[in-house]
Amino acid sequence: MSPVLTLHHEPHQHVEISAGGVVLFRYVYAPDTPAGESPRPYVHPLRSLAGDTLTNFRPNDHPWHHALSLTLTSVAGINFWGGPSHRNEGGYQWRDDHGAQVHRAWPTLTAEKLEERLDWCDPRSGTVLLHEHRELTPALIPGGWSLRWTSELFNAAGRDLALENYHSLGGLAGSHYTGLQFRGARDLLDQHGDATIGIAAEDGLAGEAAVHGALAHWMEWSCQHDGSLRRTRIRFENLSGPLPWFVRAKNPLAAFAFHREKSHPLPAGGTLRLDHLLSFTTP
């Protein structure tokens, strides 16, 4: 019998989606993470259909990397990425500038669609900067499963907002990370010389140096798991067009960086739409 998706809900905590006896992912919508990590809903653990864990939550090198989560490095100076904030004067420092994403409601909650309303807030002032309509849509596909993540971010601040990364904000070279981020399990570091394992993107791009910053519709990360020795291919697709991927192999990270060199303006009353697809298959 083919597996089907099922849902388990722990009210005011998390939602789990399972198939074939495997919890494919847990979506924690009421996190208890520290304020300095910019609290936000996150997906962890996220597993392959075979049961191998693919995400890393609060890794020791960057505890504010929360597995699979949507972040914006800076919204009008508020840090929704977590960790120390970078400025031209003083460099990286811990500052009292962290934002938080707050769950408000579940308009729809089924195994096939998690529809959520959230607010992006400045806890110091109580100001809501962004209203978000988020949908997580899992599906079983040949050889594995997929997760479509769509977010509509509405500027609720009553003024224009600048969405920044630390390159555009202060000229920190190479610091283009922002958007939906996937912090991978340590298994993604596999470097044993097998050409079928590693990072690739469309147009024949291969390896971190080639894919990082490249404008592409999709990229892939292929790995082999410790213990089970099974393999998983993770495909990241931006459904609204090519974007400049942010990739780090040493601290396994793939981010859907929707802007790079310059800030992304979001006018008062404007909406930013993000539409991404992640697929997890056995090659």
Q: Assess whether pLDDT exceeds 80 at residue 175.
A: no
Contact criterion met (CB below 8 Å) for 223 and 273? no
Name the least confident of 103-112, 147-156, 163-172.
Answer: 163-172
Q: Where are the domains of the chain?
A: 12-281
Q: Say if CB 132 and CB 118 are below 8 A apart.
A: yes
Give 170's pLDDT tier (boundaries 50, 70, 90): confident
Average pLDDT, the chain: 94
Q: Name the percent of the chain lying above pLDDT 70.
A: 99
* Residue 171 in this model has a pLDDT that exceeds 70: no
The mean pLDDT value for 82-101 works out to 87
What class, spelled out in words, does domain 12-281 have in CATH? mainly beta
Per-residue pLDDT reduced to its tens digit, 2-48: 899 999 999 999 999 999 999 999 999 999 999 999 999 999 999 99
**Structure confidence by residue, pLDDT tens digits, 60-71:** 999 999 999 999
> Which residues are 98's β-sheet partners?
79
Q: What is the pTM of this model?
A: 0.96
User: Distances in Å between the alpha carbon of 280 and those of 51, 63, 170, 236?
Assistant: 11, 24, 36, 9
With a cut of 80, say whether residue 110 has pLDDT above it: yes
Instruction: Please state, for a pLDDT cut of 90, what percent of the chain lies above it.
Output: 83
On the question of pLDDT at 168 being above 90, the answer is no
